[in-house]
Structure 1
Amino acid sequence: DEQIKENDLAEEFVKNENAFLHKRKELIRKRLKELNINQSDLAEVLNHQKGYMSELINGLRPFSKEDIVIIHRLLNIKLEDLIPPFISQGRANHIKNVLSKLPDRYLKLRKQDLLDVC
């Protein structure tokens, strides 16, 4: 039963992550089009190869913090639409373990907090 719950959570994490990455990709592409620049131009601004830029935009590789800030400023996309709100399952488990040992029992991860885990 516990294993089924973990599997269900894992599936929901993947679904949420994929939805976030798809939305971010579409926002970036939309703004590039509106500004009449292409992905290669953005790659040049960020000092990346075209293929690497494609991997970044498609979510296959993570953007650096600096890339995120540049894209935010250049394309005027909100940071919350660029920065994935996910934490790893291992990190979430560690946090839950530490919080369970703290005296203030009000510090707990809610189910929604865990949905932002990948």
Structure 2
Amino acid sequence: MHMDIEKLVESGSIVNELDYERAMVADRKLRLLAKTNTHFKHLRNKLRNLIVEYEKRVWSNEDAVDAELLAQSDRAQLIIEKERMFLEKRKKIIQARLKDFSLTQAELGLLLGHKSKTHMSELINGIKPFTLQDLVIISKIFKLDIDSLVPKYLSIEKIDRISAVIEEINNPKLSKIKPTLLSAS
């Protein structure tokens, strides 16, 4: 599941390839939002500093870049692309419903119990994750299938943990599940 970019910035460090790829996507989203909002401008500057620090620490030494790191990067890019496509599709669905109902993002925020326009923009644009309760409310208000609002992919950490447990259990029926862990369904 995607992460809260503000929490990543507050943590002060990018620790893995998945967070790095998420930070890169968030940086691109924040580029547009930063043009009209100083909060997003400051957030983007802090995020960019974390990105540069991670790249220097992890990718600047060519001798330290091994097959495992490259595989982690490839896996992270696969997950992030699924996240990005899902979030973009969900954003368009919600925006279309807002238009159908003649509502603004701010008015949707009020329905969800969020008073800040900035917070709603972060939610809609995937900078912060919606809560499950928010998505249930959106589903009910707009008569949307919850599956179109809730992501169905797993983080690399969850995939690795589940894969390790499947191997430990050594159950042939569970072994068939492993290839489907990366899928979005």
Distance 1:12 1:98 in 2: 22
Please say if residues 56 and 63 of structure 1, whose CA atoms lie closer than 8 Å, have aligned partners that are also in contact: yes
The aligned residue for residue 6 of structure 1 is: 72
Greater relative contact order (Cα < 8 A, sep 6+): 1
The RMSD of aligned alpha carbons is 1.5
Please say if residues 13 and 115 of structure 1, whose CA atoms lie closer than 8 Å, have aligned partners that are also in contact: no
Distance 2:181 2:162 in 1: 11
TM-score (norm 1): 0.88
The aligned residue for residue 3 of structure 2 is: none
Please say if residues 90 and 148 of structure 2, whose CA atoms lie closer than 8 Å, have aligned partners that are also in contact: yes
After superposition, what is the alpha-carbon deviation per residue over 1:82-117, rounded to whole angstroms, capped at 9, x for unaligned? 00112221111111110101141221311x42244x
Please say if residues 159 and 181 of structure 2, whose CA atoms lie closer than 8 Å, have aligned partners that are also in contact: no
* SS class of match (2:174): coil
Distance 1:2 1:13 in 2: 17
Q: Which has the higher helix share?
A: 2
The aligned residue for residue 119 of structure 2 is: 52
TM-score (norm 2): 0.58
Please say if residues 40 and 50 of structure 1, whose CA atoms lie closer than 8 Å, have aligned partners that are also in contact: yes
1:91-102 map, 5 Å: 91-102=158-169
Distance 1:95 1:113 in 2: 9
The aligned residue for residue 78 of structure 1 is: 145
Moved more, 6-15 or 31-40: 6-15
Distance 1:34 1:103 in 2: 51
Indicate which of 76, 82, 92 corresponds to 1:26: 92
**How far is the alpha carbon of 1:76 from its aligned partner?**
1.5
Distance 2:72 2:172 in 1: 23
1:107 aligns with 2:174: yes
Please say if residues 12 and 115 of structure 1, whose CA atoms lie closer than 8 Å, have aligned partners that are also in contact: no
* Max Rg structure: 2
Distance 1:98 1:30 in 2: 42
Alignment coverage as a number of residue pairs: 115
Letter of the structure 2 residue corresponding to residue 74 of structure 1: I
Letter of the structure 1 residue corresponding to residue 79 of structure 2: F
The aligned residue for residue 87 of structure 1 is: 154
